Copies of this chain bind each other. A is one copy, B any other.
């Protein structure tokens, strides 16, 4: 029923300690001893007792994922990727939804880490972009990995997984330009998410490259929500000079814009092209389906966790390339930006 390290030791004809060494891949265990132990472990189906391990080593085998993201698809994908990596490395994942705008969010995070004795933490926006959280985590000596917007790896960002929103936004905007659009509006996400700023910058760069003067009225502040898209599109279509295309900061905003256009009897894409960002499932479930940029969230999460484990595990092979992963979301063209009829 319950196999302990003792059983394994006896079965393999070695001491408990040696089994422990193998379990923690400590150095200085001879190859054949290691094999013997491994064989015994497999044969007995030994599963180490996490509680005992935690207690004895005062380190835990779980990492945390803190989120405050209204986007369920994003969160589910993240969890999936993190769990994949956790299972692979024998870790557990503790999820912690919370409110990023809470005044004592830093304390809350610290409490979580200390209470659950977390080995590490994965942060996504907006947490990954809050300097005081990073500072607090560093001060208590917890490993963490951030998933953030960026294109250029740098030593300062050594514990980051980068998503190149700038380049992806550039691509989407270029796609719209190539369809003949010149009056392209931009619906922003939350200001405090740097992804919104990066995507805006990518959009602006693409326009600049074609020498198209930016129209400030075409840049509408907002938040990552359906409602924001509804309002933004409404506002844009009330302008004297209307845009012929809208690039929304994510799919949800784009869906809102689509909804809004429909209310105003604006034909998509004939009268107005709309593009989103993220390639979440419902970018395929709007009508018409949305052109967007595919963000491989599951993979991103896996990489983030891998990066974290590399820092967390004491004796992991450091031979693995320590270079920072950079993901560039790929353009996905769908009917919401079909060839302009004009």
Which chain A residues have a beta carbon within 8 Å of chain B's beta carbons? 47, 49-55, 60, 72-73, 75-76, 79-80, 83, 92-97, 114-117, 226, 252, 255-256, 258-259, 262-263, 281-282, 284-287
Q: Ordered nearest first, which 3 A-B pairs have the shortest CB separation?
A: A51-B54, A72-B72, A51-B55
Chain B residue nearest to A255 (CB atoms) is B285
Instruction: Quote the shortest CB–CB distance from A142 to chain B (angstroms).
Output: 14
Query: Which listed residue (B60, B76, B284, B287) contacts A51, Cβ 8 A?
Result: B60
In angstroms, Cα B286 to Cα A93, docked, is 34
In angstroms, Cα B284 to Cα A252, docked, is 12
Query: Which listed residue (B47, B117, B282) contacts A114, Cβ 8 A?
Result: B47
Query: Which listed residue (B80, B117, B259) contacts A285, Cβ 8 A?
Result: B259
Q: Most chain-B Cβ atoms within 10 A of its Cβ — which of A76, A255, A262?
A: A76
Chain B residue nearest to A61 (CB atoms) is B51
In angstroms, Cα B76 to Cα A50, docked, is 27
Q: Which residues of B contact A114 (CB under 8 A)?
A: 47
Instruction: Quote the shortest CB–CB distance from A31 to chain B (angstroms).
Output: 28
In angstroms, Cα B230 to Cα A284, docked, is 12
Q: Most chain-B Cβ atoms within 10 A of its Cβ — which of A51, A94, A262?
A: A51
Q: Are B83 and A97 in contact (CB under 8 A)?
A: yes
Q: Are B55 and A79 in contact (CB under 8 A)?
A: no
Q: Are A52 and B50 in contact (CB under 8 A)?
A: no
Q: Are B83 and A72 in contact (CB under 8 A)?
A: no
Chain B residue nearest to A52 (CB atoms) is B55
Chain B residue nearest to A280 (CB atoms) is B72
Query: Which listed residue (B92, B97, B255, B284) contacts A94, Cβ 8 A?
Result: B92
Q: Which residues of B contact A51 (CB under 8 A)?
A: 50-55, 60, 117
Query: Which listed residue (B95, B284, B285, B287) contacts A83, Cβ 8 A?
Result: B95
Q: Are B259 and A226 in contact (CB under 8 A)?
A: no
Instruction: Quote the shortest CB–CB distance from A338 to chain B (angstroms).
Output: 14
Could you list some 17 contacts between A and B, CB below 8 A? A47-B114, A47-B115, A49-B117, A50-B51, A51-B51, A51-B60, A51-B117, A72-B72, A72-B73, A72-B75, A79-B95, A80-B97, A83-B97, A226-B281, A259-B287, A263-B287, A282-B285
Q: Are A79 and B97 in contact (CB under 8 A)?
A: yes
Instruction: Quote the shortest CB–CB distance from A133 to chain B (angstroms).
Output: 20
Q: Are B282 and A116 in contact (CB under 8 A)?
A: no
Q: Which residues of B contact A281 (CB under 8 A)?
A: 72, 226
Q: Are A285 and B226 in contact (CB under 8 A)?
A: yes
Q: Are A50 and B116 in contact (CB under 8 A)?
A: yes
Instruction: Quote the shortest CB–CB distance from A301 to chain B (angstroms).
Output: 13
